[in-house]
A and B are shown apart, each in its own frame.
Chain A
Amino acid sequence: MNTIDRINFLRSRRQFFGRAATGLGAAALASLLQRDAIAASGGMLSNFHVAPKAKRAIWLFMSGAPSQLDMWDYKPQMQERFDEDLPDSVRNGQRLTGMTARQKRFPVAPTKYEFHRHGQSGIHVSEVLPYTAKMIDDIAVVKSLNTEAINHDPAITYIQTGNQVPGLPCLGSWLSYGLGSTNENLPTFMVLNSTWSAKRDAQALYARLWGSGFLPSEHQGVALRSQGDPVLYLSNPPGVSGGLRRQMLNGVNAMNRRHFQRLGDPETEARISQYEMAFRMQSSVPELVDISNESDATLKMYGPDVTTPGTFAYNCLLARRMAEKNVRYTQIFHRGWDQHGNLTVDLPLQVGDIDQPCYALVQDLKQRGLLDDTLVIWAGEFGRTAYGQGRLTRENYGRDHHPRCFSGWLAGGGIKGGTTYGATDDYGYNVVENPVHIRDLNATILNQFGIDHERLSYRFQGLDQRLTGVEEARVIKDILA
């Protein structure tokens, strides 16, 4: 066997034995020998379960839980009930967080913001989102998202990994595992953490949110950083040029080949190819983050923050650049949405960070013909209460955590723009129509990638583990084009 044959042999060997035997779901194995496009990219699935609509996804995650009542879920009825007690029949046994459990009453807190109809679809959007409103016909707004978790750490872990308890792989890792990479020079799954403008003590993030859990760690997200090396340890040490590194790697490879001759372990050959990939990344990643060749028009579209590394705008631009390079999955985190108080001061700061870049990202993808097969998702980990937390005035208020309903949107990747799905009651407190559990959201995302969420599984602890867990989950067909 020559090297290429060996590597191919090795690759199939590792997929076949290394991973399959650790517990690929039975169903996914059924036709393992029919290798196709997925297999060529190193994914575990042998074939798509349904016709794929998306090749990549960009998740715009608003950590801290943005208020659906001030952004998306239009409840004019609440205005007349300002400061009235939320009826018990509406609250209906919903448990309270430790923060409002001792609050004596639960006064209705109508939004301060005006909502207007936008686009051909005429969907109501709050005035705080002027840019997102402009593209309302490109997106599908889901108003009936819901979860069980009522605190940040469990909730964000839940929506990302399908379980409130740490230890499971996140969506991006599942996609990497199932579908592999379509890019030779960049990681399959990238993570971007953004700076934010509201109060500083934003909810924390956790490495587990892009962790691979029980899946092999090659499926974990790679954080693209705005400080230091864009990818950890990417740069050669001072004094070591690219040319010198190349020569050093030639020496490494020569020694490794010699050792391979001696022992014959294909893992040694795999090491050679991984070092080569590392070397390629040393040029492909800096190219990725070099935005100097972006046109003024493009930069302008994303807004003035776009040239500041680490801002949400900058990260959105990078996400588009990654989509161009076929990075499978990009997760952008934006923190600071936990408005327990002072909402009308902090919310405008937060939307100031994200509104224009969200718009620009979707339009930029569209202009480049990438939106059709790039799924964009926007949401937080839960919603916020219809009743006020702390001091309540018409002008300012706070809202506690609310798991029973929240809003998010999807665009591109086979999503039907200009639609809304699901509805809540007059208080924006309970879902009254078409509930979408976060499991359903995940099932829908997988569906757009051509994956039946019940059939992407990994044998761990005796079970065929899935992103959507053991409860039933359904694809939200009504928002699909």
Chain B
Amino acid sequence: MRFLIIPALALALNGSVGAIDFNRQIRPLLSDNCYQCHGPDSASRKAGLRLDREDSVKSDRSGGPIVVPGKPEQSKLIQRITSSDPDEVMPPPRLHKKITPEQVRLLKQWIADGANWQKHWAFIPPKKPTVPADDSGWSANEIDRFILARLKREGLKPSPEADRATLIRRIALDLTGLPPTPGEVNAFLRDRSTRAWTKWIGRLQNSKRYGEHRARYWLDAARYADTHGLHLDNYREMWPYRDWVIKAMNENQSFDEFTIEQLAGDLLPNATMEQQIATGFHRCNVTTSEGGAIADEFLVRYAVDRVNTTGTVWMGLTVGCAQCHDHKFDPVSQREYYQLFAFFNNTTQAGMDGNRPDTPPIIRIYESGKADEERKVRAERDELRKELRKISTAVDKKLDELIEDFDTNTAVPWEGEKLYARNGTNAPNVSLPIGLGKPFTLFVQFTMSDDYERVELFNQLDENETGIRVWSDTINEGAELELAGSKGSLRVTQIKALKPGEPRRIYFTYDGHADPASIELWNGTRRMTRNRFPYLAIDQFGGDFANDAKLKFVASSERLQKVAFFNRILSSEEIIAMEKRESVPALIKAGPKKWDKFKRKQVLHNYLHAQNGRYRELSAKLSEANRRLEYIARTTPLTHVMAEKANARPMANILERGEYDKKREEVTPGVPGALPSLSDGSPTNRLGLAQWLVRDDHPLTARVTVNRIWQEFFGVGLVKTAGDFGVQGEAPSHPDLLDWLAVDFMENGWDMKRLVRQIVTSGTYRQSARVSPELIARDPENRLYARGARFRLDAETIRDLALYVAGLLDEKRGGPGVRPYQPAGLWKTVGYENSNTVQFYRHYGDALYRRSIYTFWKRTSPPPNMTALDAPNREACVVRRERTNTPLQALVLLNDVQFIEAARHLAERVIRDRDPVRSMAFHVLGRGIDHEESKILNNSLATFTGHFQADQDAAEHLLSQGDKPNQESSSPVKLAALTMLANQLLNLDEAITKN
């Protein structure tokens, strides 16, 4: 079928000439055409016949055996598939499957040859095959011998080695995701030593960039992202897991440990913090907290996702098919599916994620001493609460009498309050004592009309860069406070429905720290920015911001009705009391009999704050303790981990048709019978499963892993269906090589860096990618490796490359996701109003230029310049990205401000070079350009220069794109023209491709 009409595959599968190979030629044919009704799935099996087992195929049945070895004409199989009777012929016409004459011939020959039967290749543990000989001297290592042997059979020859400039760019991009600098290219070109290649490989593998690049692939498989994924799609704090993967890659953790820690790090004896962080792998799945969702249903979905992901990533098996019925093609029964499911069915995790950034089980990653401090402050806080409750209960008892003497006027001016503006009487010039380490609360009451998009309420008096600004915004119906520092600013923005025309009462609080959460915003009595997700656009302060800022009131006094300043943080209780205080006199006048319990509380709080010194003092201390706890909490990273219920053992019920509420027979954890059984005495929990996966006799894990790593370098795996090694998957193009690599990998301690080194030191890897039309026609996908791999770089690599050659890349490592440029409104268009990721706020400063692996990933609206270039949305496990070539990709690279800004900085980087064109091309392409290319580029530059000379405003406009200014003071025309040229170079096929 597939392989008969597709030459590429035919090549791959008919590699061995002569005898029919059951696994490569017969089983796929039976599987495609027959297993749907005559395969492992007992429920859909027709006539009690299965064709996936030798005994069933060859045993005597009424009407004769299906297959009589050596006698095709007596075999019912042949009779039925060649029958002309529509009621007889197989497969039945209604299935729209058809066996071709060529396939019939194959089946006949197979039977005539004795109907040799093999277990599916992937279920037989690999043995190290003999390495073919190479007398040509071409081979650099074993990989090449296997590749060459096959090429010889096909009558093909390997391509010559690529030139050295190509090689250094290829290896740098493949190992670090960044191109070589011109200096590195030149150094490599000069380095004529025989060890030059391995030396460079070593250098690149030891770079911290190595792990950042390798981790990317794994994070696709782990479905890593920064939001929950379903419904509200709120922020989820998970990045310590991402950083753990990067570190594991850089430290070259062996793949067996890497496996065990991610699947079961929490179950290891005395599990370390790192081992627990590793278990984040299975907390990356999408979760929900949709109102109305049924927890049991989602707990089943989470476990299903974990089983299926584990199946795909480690075993290359599509076990998910067995969720509802026995697998139709592979030997995984429904019962066995739920045995795998059972491993993941003893979690303490709740079905609803609570829309929280920290859905338990989580761990916090404390700096030293912080955990103790937290315990201490918490105890103090509890004590204070108790005290305060005592006072308030005592006062409450006497409140009815006390209020008789309560002068409500004393409740109105709040302690420390300074009023700077009231209706019609704005102070013209005021001085605010603000600065780093000086907490304050700022209260602003104002009204907005429909007419303005963005209104400045007040601003610091002088035009220096630091100070305080308050804006309001009718589009987002929000308000914003900005504390501008000398090296960036803190902002807090509120974006809820504030109706035009109604007075807005906003409290901004600042606690004196420099992190984003140190400013908060209250909309009346509602605290709006409690969330851990820093959805304010911020920069950390590099310096201080102005002390004693002089305020200038910009908005009219009609609009800006009231501004009050406190040189301390009001506690939440105080803010609520403030908000209610104007109603207190009336309540007192009405008398206690008219109060319900809320009104009573309102009066009580106002009374306590105004009249009781002790209460005020303790309340201030409580507020301080709470802020300290919050500060510790918000500056202590957390991450999601796996944890087992202590009082239960893993088990599961078989779910009829996979439906969560149709629980059937109970099963204990176990592994499919077609694979090795669990070791005696191995724990029947995730740890046992993880240990089993990396056992030397497991036929799948090593093969699947080496295949995926191979795919990273060659674009396609030796098994193209990297996530499906089952019967329906594609057979390996080089089965012996795959087995050799798998066994060698295990024999050498599952050493990933070593495997990568083997691949990139091979002659196969180093071939030129040049291809003739004949070879394209013969082997379009390069499955035979008669040439070097050539494919478009991944989205992240393209962006990183542009930033890097521009000199913009900020190589800060790790930490929370960053939000670089993104067109406005994307999150808002799809987001739920109450989601904390409904508004996109981009970062400022260096965060715009971080490596793309650190980009914040919102699953329901991922970064558009990444998804255009085939980055997956991270909702589900992906072990192989598609690679497309579309106009939308061109638009990203041509027009995205990120790329325009990179071009502008690349232009600046070369503007003073002797030959800026040549120099720029060297940065981007990693090689010198030839005469014709030089002509093309210089012609372009002349055109651009002419254009900008005629229209200097255009030059200024282009140069205004992106935040980071140029230092260059020379002609804007020249810089703009070079910017266009840089844009041109960064859009070349060669620039965004490995070669």
Of residues 210 through 247 on chain A, the ones whose CB sits less than 8 Å from some CB of chain B are 211, 215-218, 220, 222-223, 225, 227-229, 231-241, 243-245, 247
The reply on A29 being an interface residue by CB < 8 A is: yes
Residues on the B chain within 8 Å of A1, using CB: 773
Q: Does B790 contact A151, Cβ atoms closer than 8 Å?
A: no
The prevalent SS among residues of B at the interface is loop
Q: A228-B823, A259-B988 are in contact. Are A98 and B889 (CB under 8 A)?
A: no
Q: Could you count the A-B residue pairs with CB atoms below 8 Å apart for me: how many are there?
A: 302
The residue on A at minimum CB distance from B941 is A251
Surface stretch bound by B, among A129-137, A263-271, A358-366, A417-425: A263-271
Q: A231-B891, A251-B939 are in contact. Are A264 and B958 (CB under 8 A)?
A: no
Smallest distance from the beta carbon of B231 to chain A beta carbons, Å? 5
Query: Contact flags (1/0) for B983-995 with A, using CB distance below 8 Å?
Result: 1110111100101
CA distance A228 to B886 in the complex (A): 21
The total of chain B residues at the interface (CB under 8 A) is: 120
CA distance A45 to B723 in the complex (A): 25
The residue on A at minimum CB distance from B659 is A148
The reply on B416 being an interface residue by CB < 8 A is: no
Q: Does A462 contact B870, Cβ atoms closer than 8 Å?
A: no
Q: Does A239 contact B723, Cβ atoms closer than 8 Å?
A: no
Q: Does A232 contact B824, Cβ atoms closer than 8 Å?
A: no
The residue on A at minimum CB distance from B288 is A153
The residue on A at minimum CB distance from B992 is A271
CA distance A227 to B232 in the complex (A): 22
Smallest distance from the beta carbon of A100 to chain B beta carbons, Å? 8
The reply on B890 being an interface residue by CB < 8 A is: yes
The reply on A117 being an interface residue by CB < 8 A is: no
Residues on the A chain within 8 Å of B851, using CB: none
Surface stretch bound by A, among B183-191, B243-251, B419-427, B930-938: B930-938
Residues on the A chain within 8 Å of B984, using CB: 248, 251-252, 255
Query: Contact flags (1/0) for B886-902 with A, using CB distance below 8 Å?
Result: 11111110111100100
Which residues of A pack against B, CB within 8 Å? 1, 13, 16-18, 20-23, 26-27, 29-30, 32, 95, 97-100, 150-153, 165-167, 187, 193, 200-208, 211, 215-218, 220, 222-223, 225, 227-229, 231-241, 243-245, 247-248, 250-252, 254-256, 258-260, 262-268, 270-272, 274-275, 277-278, 281, 400-401, 452, 454-455, 459, 461-463, 470
CA distance A69 to B182 in the complex (A): 70
Smallest distance from the beta carbon of A462 to chain B beta carbons, Å? 3
The reply on B675 being an interface residue by CB < 8 A is: no
CA distance A13 to B778 in the complex (A): 11
Residues on the B chain within 8 Å of A259, using CB: 988-990
Residues on the B chain within 8 Å of A265, using CB: 769, 771, 790
Known: A18-B780, A275-B987. 4 other contacts (CB 8 A): A26-B96, A215-B882, A218-B885, A233-B864
Q: Does B956 contact A239, Cβ atoms closer than 8 Å?
A: yes
Question: Which 8 pairs between the two chains have the least Cβ-Cβ distance?
Answer: A97-B292, A462-B728, A239-B957, A239-B958, A278-B890, A251-B940, A167-B876, A238-B957
25 of the cross-chain contacts (CB-CB < 8 Å) are A17-B780, A26-B1, A95-B661, A165-B876, A166-B876, A193-B829, A208-B875, A216-B884, A218-B884, A225-B823, A237-B958, A239-B954, A247-B944, A251-B937, A258-B932, A260-B989, A263-B769, A264-B770, A267-B790, A267-B885, A271-B890, A274-B890, A277-B890, A459-B728, A470-B324
CA distance A401 to B292 in the complex (A): 9
The reply on B868 being an interface residue by CB < 8 A is: yes
Residues on the B chain within 8 Å of A248, using CB: 940, 944, 980, 983-984
The residue on A at minimum CB distance from B985 is A255
The reply on B832 being an interface residue by CB < 8 A is: yes
Surface stretch bound by A, among B5-13, B256-264, B641-649: B5-13
Smallest distance from the beta carbon of A276 to chain B beta carbons, Å? 8
B292's partner among A150, A167, A216 (CB-CB below 8 A) is A150
Q: Does A165 contact B868, Cβ atoms closer than 8 Å?
A: no
The residue on B at minimum CB distance from A193 is B829
Residues on the A chain within 8 Å of B864, using CB: 232-233
Residues on the B chain within 8 Å of A152, using CB: 231, 290
Smallest distance from the beta carbon of A244 to chain B beta carbons, Å? 5
Residues on the B chain within 8 Å of A454, using CB: 96
Smallest distance from the beta carbon of A72 to chain B beta carbons, Å? 23
Q: A21-B6, A239-B954 are in contact. Are A255 and B983 (CB under 8 A)?
A: no
CA distance A98 to B773 in the complex (A): 62
Q: Does B830 contact A204, Cβ atoms closer than 8 Å?
A: yes
CA distance A166 to B301 in the complex (A): 11
CA distance A247 to B977 in the complex (A): 12
CA distance A22 to B2 in the complex (A): 10
The reply on B396 being an interface residue by CB < 8 A is: no
Q: Does B862 contact A207, Cβ atoms closer than 8 Å?
A: yes
The reply on B315 being an interface residue by CB < 8 A is: no
The reply on B494 being an interface residue by CB < 8 A is: no
Q: A166-B229, A251-B984, A267-B792 are in contact. Are A461 and B830 (CB under 8 A)?
A: no
Query: Contact flags (1/0) for B920-949 with A, using CB distance below 8 Å?
Result: 000000000000110011011001100100
Residues on the A chain within 8 Å of B983, using CB: 248
Smallest distance from the beta carbon of B587 to chain A beta carbons, Å? 29
Q: Does A234 contact B891, Cβ atoms closer than 8 Å?
A: yes
Of residues 121 through 174 on chain B, the ones whose CB sits less than 8 Å from some CB of chain A are none
Residues on the B chain within 8 Å of A220, using CB: 867
B824's partner among A227, A231, A252 (CB-CB below 8 A) is A227
Residues on the A chain within 8 Å of B781, using CB: 17-18, 21
The reply on B577 being an interface residue by CB < 8 A is: no
Q: Does B832 contact A202, Cβ atoms closer than 8 Å?
A: yes
Residues on the A chain within 8 Å of B882, using CB: 215-217
The reply on B865 being an interface residue by CB < 8 A is: yes
Residues on the B chain within 8 Å of A260, using CB: 989
Residues on the A chain within 8 Å of B990, using CB: 255-256, 259
The reply on B254 being an interface residue by CB < 8 A is: no
The residue on B at minimum CB distance from A454 is B96
CA distance A245 to B895 in the complex (A): 10
Q: A237-B958, A238-B958, A239-B955 are in contact. Are A26 and B868 (CB under 8 A)?
A: no
The residue on B at minimum CB distance from A272 is B989
Smallest distance from the beta carbon of B70 to chain A beta carbons, Å? 30
CA distance A258 to B853 in the complex (A): 33
